Amino acid sequence: MADVLRNLQPNLVFHYFEEISQIPRGSGNEKAISDYLVDFAKKHNLEVIQDNALNVIIKKPGTTGYENAPTVIIQGHMDMVCEKNKDTRHDFENDPIHLRIDGDYIYATGTTLGADNGIAMAYGLALIASNDIPHPPLEVLMTVEEETGMGGAMALDGKNINGKMLINIDSEEEGKLLVSCAGGVRTTHKVKAYFVNAIKNNAYTISIRGLKGGHSGMEIDKGRGNANKIMGRILDDLNSTIDFELASVNGGSKMNAIPRECDAIVLVNSNDVEKLESKIKEWDSILKNELRSSDAGVNVFVTKVENKIEKVFDKDTKNKVIASLVLIPNGIQTMSMAIEGLVESSTNLGVVETTADEVLFQSAVRSSVRSLKYNILNQAKKVAEVLGAELVADSDYPEWQYDPDSKLRQLFMDVYKNMFGKDAEIVAIHAGVECGLFKEKLGEDVDMISFGPNLYDVHTPDEHISISSVNRMWDYLLAVLKEIK
């Protein structure tokens, strides 16, 4: 281990954060980190459960004086979003995350950091390893595949959990206590791809770069450009002005991340090359104007494809692909009238992928109102019907509704006021955390809250976490646990 974080406080927390950063743990690749947690529990002679989904539950008795206190669940997820810059050489299946410190922040090098949600694991492991922290009985619950549809939480057997107080450590702003979140569903719009021999012999890649992207729930209100939707506008415009063939469209890498990049390979006749280049320059100017506040670095350009492109979409496939890019719902759909500034419903066209026989359009739909979530899903189904495409929906998870009588929330508020001399902010977010599912799995009487230290630019290669905030929120967590007797 590189030991980059060895001098940081709290020492145990950062020690384990660096240790787990050495273990690849992208969604669907959690076996190694799950086994690590099991071995960790066994080394500390604690009861541990690893279920078939690879979720891990570690049970630690209360310390002296807390033996009969109510059991508290400390919860987070193992998996991380694996995003990297185009010029970064990194294999998320095998390579460790390369950490670096910049002032008060920890970054990775050209990749996502994994503080979402590695910091929850680090807090949990530090609690387990400590022998001088007063606390009630603990159940440290770490789930898998949270980032790709909450598969771990869906698979959880509630009978393995005894606690009725749950502290989720998957929030990203210090001083904000999360008490409600959106539910969601994932959709895949499938266009059957039929290919024909290419006739035109000048192949170019249209590329969109320089967008900020971000979390498709937390940053959906920032007005940031969606590379896939932008490509749809460009191709639709080209379709009315230039005779071109379309070989492929590929954009984004995670449906819950606003896509930062998209590429489309087009073929034109020699006499249309200059017109193509001119059109793309025009779009570069349009987008720089439209996105000057949210994505000032946006760049659209064409590059010559040196390899011969032999197959292209037939005309019908080409038109369906372009129409899908234009018509699939995207962005904010409704704003909450009850909570000022809260996005109520949205959808994000996160991934477009050309395969050997299909073009796939993957979206993440979110809403804090169940009926509105299904209304967006119905819109997506209608678009697919009109275009002769197939719409598949999966990973449907419930919203977490506000509990006006939460004793855990009041405790968190009281301790925060005592420690920091000001009130914590109670918030709801337009993003999915697993608490909605835990209500179903653990019973309606489970009392839940979500908090965490300051994280920035999650789900992007610019993700970073505040060192001082990790320290403050660790002390805050310990102070809360000390009060639960």
Catalytic amino acids?
Answer: 79, 146
Cα of first residue to Cα of last residue in the chain, in angstroms, is: 38
CA distance 468 to 38: 29
Q: What is the 3-state secondary structure (H, E, C) of the chain?
A: CCCCCCCCCCHHHHHHHHHHHCCCCECCCCHHHHHHHHHHHHHCCCEEEECCCCCEEEEECCCCCCCCCCCEEEEEECCECCCECCCCCCCCCCCCCCCEEECCEEECCCECCCHHHHHHHHHHHHHHHCCCCCCCCEEEEEECCCCCCCHHHHHCCHHHCCCCEEEECCCCCCCEEEEEECEEEEEEEEEECCEEECCCCEEEEEEEECCCCEECCCCHHHCCCCHHHHHHHHHHHHHCCCCEEEEEEEECCCCCEECCCEEEEEEECHHHHHHHHHHHHHHHHHHHHHCCCCCCCCEEEEEECCCCCCEEECHHHHHHHHHHHHHCCCEEEEECCCCCCCEEEEEEEEEEEECCCEEEEEEEEEECCHHHHHHHHHHHHHHHHHHCCEEEEEEEECCECCCCCCHHHHHHHHHHHHHHCCCCEEEEECCCCCHHHHHHHHCCCCEEEECCCCEECCCCCCCEEEHHHHHHHHHHHHHHHHHCC
Triad 216, 218, 223: Cα angle to 5°: 70
Question: What distance separates the 2 farthest-apart alpha carbons in the chain?
Answer: 84
Q: Are strands 176-181 and 165-168 parallel, antiparallel or unpaired?
A: unpaired
Q: Are 481 and 72 in contact (CB under 8 A)?
A: yes
> How distant, in Å, are the alpha carbons of 33, 121, 212 from that of 344?
34, 30, 22
Q: Which residue has the tokens 């835990």?
A: 438
What the block records as the tokens of 457 is: 């630019």
